[in-house]
Amino acid sequence: MPYMISLFSFILGLVIGSFLNVCICRLPSGGSIVNPGSSCPYCGTPLAPRDLIPVASYLVLGGKCRYCGEPISIQYPVVEVATGLLYAAIVWANGLTFESLSLLVFVSLVIICAGTDLNTGLILNSVTFPGVVIGVALSFIVPSMTPLQSLLGLLVSGGVVWIMYVVTRGRGMGGGDVKFMAMVGAFLGWDRGLLTLFLGALIGSVVGIARIVSGKQERRDPIPFGPFLSIGAVISVFFGAKLLGFLHLW
């Protein structure tokens, strides 16, 4: 039964991932995520249901539009598969519980933020503000989180990054990162929120140094921080308790 539930969660994640792609592509420009229906960004041809099957349509079409032959961004299957795997892992680890519900909502919001930041350099208020409210609201039904812990989490996690933003005058940290971390704290609490910040900074530093050494990036070139914070948040979801326990012992 756990295998079947996880398989169903994976399939559900693929479908939700397809919707998250719509959010990533349309929200930065203020477009509706409901209307119009999906169409090719190059030729404008409306896509048929057979063109919208998560992952499968991309593979069958060879990564190209059926109608004009232009390449389809690899973002689409990557987001779908990533969402499916995260959904399956969360349900496998937590079962069909309110904890799983909260984390499924959280990783969905995190994926949207990472995608918009990669594409446009923006983490949108239209995602993080509702995310903060949803995180606090879900704390009333999640056994591992109380409303007080959620509120403390958003204040501490968001507050630390806000101080960094003020001190650096927005160089390296943006306002979107502040709101993103407030959302992380609302869902995960202050301890896993700060762990997310630490992991994001560590991963971002390693990647940034590697790109500079390889000549792919100049020292002063800006780099989106949201995707690294998102990776840190996902690690904190699955391994936060163990990592915090290790750090406490150390």
**pLDDT value at position 220?**
73
d(CA 186, CA 126): 16
Q: Is the pLDDT of residue 190 over 60?
A: yes
- Structure pTM? 0.93
Average pLDDT, whole number, for the chain? Answer: 92
- Cα dihedral 183, 187, 191, 196, rounded to 10, equals -60
Backbone phi and psi for residue 19, each to the nearest 5 degrees, phi listed first: -70, -40
Alpha helices in the chain (DSSP H): 2-26, 56-60, 75-94, 98-120, 125-138, 147-167, 175-213, 226-249
Cβ atoms of 106 and 128 closer than 8 Å: no
Most confident range (mean pLDDT) of 35-39, 41-45, 65-69, 192-196 is: 192-196
pLDDT given at position 152: 97
Residue 226 has pLDDT above 70, yes or no: yes
Q: b vs e for 15-28, b when ≥16 Cβ sit within 10 Å of the residue's Cβ?
A: bbbbbbbbbbbebb
- What pLDDT, on the 0 to 100 scale, is given for residue 249? 54
